[in-house]
Amino acid sequence: MTTQLGLPDDIQACLFDLDGVVTRTAVVHAAAWKETFDAFLREREGEAFRPFTDSDYDQYVDGRPRADGVRTFLASRGIELPEGDPDDPPDAQTVNGVGNRKNALLLQRIRTDGVQAYPGSLRYIEAVRAGGLRTAIVSSSANTVDVLRSIDAERLFDVRIDGVVARERGLPGKPHPDTFLAAARDLGVEPRRAAVFEDALAGMDAGRSGRFGYVVGVDRVGQSDALYAHGADRVVTDLAELGGRA
Ligand SMILES: O=P(O)(O)OC[C@H]1O[C@@H](O)[C@H](O)[C@@H](O)[C@@H]1O
């Protein structure tokens, strides 16, 4: 069965990232981050500020937990902010304040435009489950449950390790492998028998350092070379390319 799914035949479980793999929300996150960071930098540095770019998103923010994204990007510009508190207002000059601003913009965009799933991903996940493999959703996003519910896809995953669960369990986020490892453990499957599906470079790094059996890079933005460089065994532009049709 696994060969019909485009996977090595000893794979028993599939661990899927959410944003950019299952749903078209990676671009929504990227747009909310750009709006947040450009406003922050403009206020701090005046009109001569250097805008937040796609490459900044890919390198420093994509796939990481919210606060890690704020810290990592600002550090790349030589800026360090106090942590602040989780309920800091969106205009607070703290890591939490900047993160809260971005989350408000993200939720606004999701409310206005809704969430779209990738049909090829939903079909592939159904085929994986029909083939008797177990599935997990492994996302840094604290909005995972709401996003999955909005497309009625919670039922597709036996296990969920998201931003909320990671915080509760004290798991470091991607690029560390801990959230994927926790998902494999909860499914009762050894990492070498699990496949990781990721679109973010930080997620590739997590797949490689966790020594998972197979790592699929999902290239939605033309970064196939970078996905291979960060450890992908195979890169596809849509999960339908892997197979999965009965
Ligand atoms: O802010 P959230 O919804 O908790 O998401 C955290 C991160 O989740 C990841 O899935 C996205 O790639 C990042 O862009 C995002 O910052």
Q: Respond yes or no: is residue 19 known to be catalytic.
A: yes
Residues 6+ apart with CB under 8 A from 33: 52, 57, 61, 69, 73, 102
Q: Are residues 129 and 235 in the same domain?
A: yes
Per-residue model confidence (pLDDT) at position 244: 77
* Closest atom, ligand 1, to C-alpha of 142: 4
Task: Using the 3D structure, point to which of 91, 113, 135 is the last residue of a domain.
Answer: 113
Structural domains counted in the chain: 2
Same domain for 134 and 69: no
For every one of its 246 residues, what pLDDT tens digit does the chain have, with 9 covering 90 and above? 677 999 999 999 999 999 999 999 999 999 999 999 999 999 999 999 999 999 999 999 999 999 999 999 999 999 999 999 999 999 999 999 999 999 999 999 999 999 999 999 999 999 999 999 999 999 999 999 999 999 999 999 999 999 999 999 999 999 999 999 999 999 999 999 999 999 999 999 999 999 999 999 999 999 999 999 999 999 999 999 998 764
Q: What is the CATH number of the domain that holds 101?
A: 1.10.150
223 contacts 203 by C-beta, under 8 angstroms: no
Domain finish residue from 113, 130, 161: 113
- Domain shared by 75 and 159, yes or no: no
Q: What is the 3-state secondary structure (H, E, C) of 91-149?
A: CCCCHHHHHHHHHHHHHHHHHHHCCCECHHHHHHHHHHHHCCCEEEEECCCCCHHHHHH
Q: Is 17 a catalytic residue?
A: yes
Helix (H/G/I), strand (E/B), else coil: 197 = strand
Are 228 and 217 within 8 A, CB to CB? Answer: yes
Compute, in angstroms, the gap from residue 9 CA to the centroid of ligand 1.
Answer: 32
- 112 burial (CB, 10 Å; 0-12 / 13-18 / 19+) is exposed
Is the minimum distance from the CB of 66 to ligand 1 under 6 angstroms? yes
For residue 126, the domain's CATH number is 3.40.50.1000
Whether residue 129 sits in one domain with residue 94: no
Catalytic residue among 19, 58, 162, 219: 19
Check whether residue 78 and residue 178 sit in a common domain: no
68: which 2 tokens? 């890690």
Same domain? For 13 and 134 the reply is yes
| Residue 57 and residue 135 share a domain | no
Q: Are residues 45 and 141 in the same domain?
A: no
Among residues 57, 91, 113, which one ends one of the domains? Answer: 113
| CA-closest residue to ligand 1 atom 1 | 66
Residues 58 and 178 in one domain: no
- Do 20 and 203 touch, CB atoms closer than 8 A? no
**ipTM confidence:** 0.98
Q: Do 126 and 171 belong to one domain? A: yes
Quick one: tokens of 52? 């937040």
Take atom 9 of ligand 1 and give the residue whose Cα is closest: 63
Question: Would you state the pLDDT for residue 1?
Answer: 65
Helix, strand, coil shares, percent, the chain, to 5: 50, 10, 40
Closest CA to ligand 1's atom 8: 141
| Contacts within 8 Å (CB) and 24+ apart, 231-235 | 231/204, 231/205, 231/207, 232/204, 232/207, 234/6
- The CA-atom distances, in angstroms, between 78 and each of 58, 73, 75 are 18, 9, 5
The helix (run of H) or strand (run of E) holding residue 214 is strand 214-218
Q: What is the domain range of residue 46?
A: 27-113
Pair (11, 105) in one structural domain: no
Residues 20 and 107 grouped into a single domain: no
